[in-house]
Amino acid sequence: THGKTTTAAWIAHLLCPWDVGFYVGARIRGRPRARWGGPWFVAEVDESDGVFLELFPEVAVLTNVDRDHLASYGSFVRLKAAFSAFLAKAVSAVVCADDPVSIEVSRGHKRTFTYGLSASADLSARDVRIRPDGTSFEVCLYGKRLGEAAIPAFGIHNVRNALAALAAAHVVGASPRDLLGKLPSFPLPARRLEVVAENGYVLVDDYAHHPREIAAGVAAVRARWPRRRVRVLFQPHRFSRTALLYRELGKALAGADYAVVTEVYPAFEAPIPGVSGELVYRAMRGHGGKGRFVARPDRAVEALLEASSPGDVMVCFGAGDVWRSFRRIPEML
């Protein structure tokens, strides 16, 4: 559900000496989003419309399973069943040991390799340290230390993404120990905690549109800039998702010091009566959060600036078009 683009890009990076093909769902600075090659093809796929069930992967990497796209499945039970069916078609499954639902849907698979921060994972990380230029940690295989790793990204979720990439490479025959030296040159997909500017303010742009993603993003920003206030601009994505998750979205946004919520980006959906970004804003206030509801993204950016001061970290979350207004901020200062 989350971390697909980063993980797919990093797997392709680790396997590039094998001239692999790949497809990822975001721009990657200085690299193509897709390339044909062999003997492996790394593909980012998701569960949104069920088409992933038509694939028969050699290796399936499952980062996590969350309550999303339920409009396509009708219930979380049916969504989990779809993931189980997907894994059953794979020769090998690489599964996050830190995500209970992923472990649940992978039960019964004969060739499962796990990764995560859990000491019980086959490939694990410990002693995680956030640094100005990224994150460092120790990597262990079956409990034995392999070596020190460093990635040019921050956030615990990105440590898991790095472990997922290493685990996938290990399953197809590469040596994780030999690959540790490639982690500092991991490519960074656009809008994945992308630092847009540091000019007194810090501007960070992120694609997050689900509660777990937003909570992970806020936590990562706080860990990277621990003494700065975090101001968030959020555009809810899809009416169906907002109707289902507005309470959880509000709770996640309450983790920021201040948040401005816009109207819902429809993404081709018809409006649902009574469902708007104001629901998210009210839920955030109910969890003790501070902020405003401003329907238009351009006006919301102005409201964010009014509530911010030099030294603050301003973060844009959303899968719609809110980033266009957010990235005008340097011109407005």
Strand partners, 260: 233, 292
Asked if 304 and 290 count as a contact pair (C-beta separation under 8 A), the reply is no
Residue 250 pLDDT: 98
Boundaries of domain holding 253? 194-332
CA distance 275 to 278: 8
Same domain, 165 and 28: yes
What's the whole-number average pLDDT of the chain?
95
- The label of the residue with tokens 């309450």 reads 254
Domain count for the chain? 2
Q: Which of 142, 161, 185 is the endpoint of a domain?
A: 185
Q: What is the CA radius of gyration of the chain?
A: 20
Strand partners, 41: 21
* Closest to 87 measured CA to CA, from 49, 47, 37, 34: 47
Same domain, 102 and 203: no
User: Residues 209-244: pLDDT tens digits?
Assistant: 999 999 999 999 999 999 999 999 999 999 999 999
User: Residues 90-135: pLDDT tens digits?
Assistant: 999 999 999 999 999 999 898 999 999 999 999 999 999 999 999 9
Q: Check which CATH number belongs to the domain holding 273 and give it.
A: 3.90.190.20
Band of the pLDDT at 203, cuts 50, 70, 90? very high
For residue 271, whether the previous peptide bond is cis, meaning omega lies within 30 degrees of 0, is: no
Q: Which of 157, 185, 213 is the endpoint of a domain?
A: 185
Residue 41 pLDDT: 96
Q: Check which CATH number belongs to the domain holding 121 and give it.
A: 3.40.1190.10
Same domain, 28 and 156: yes
Longest distance between any two alpha carbons in the chain, whole Å: 57
User: How is residue 130 written in tokens?
Assistant: 């956030």
Residue 301 pLDDT: 98
Same domain, 170 and 212: no
Strand partners, 145: 140
Residue 64 pLDDT: 95
Same domain, 147 and 284: no
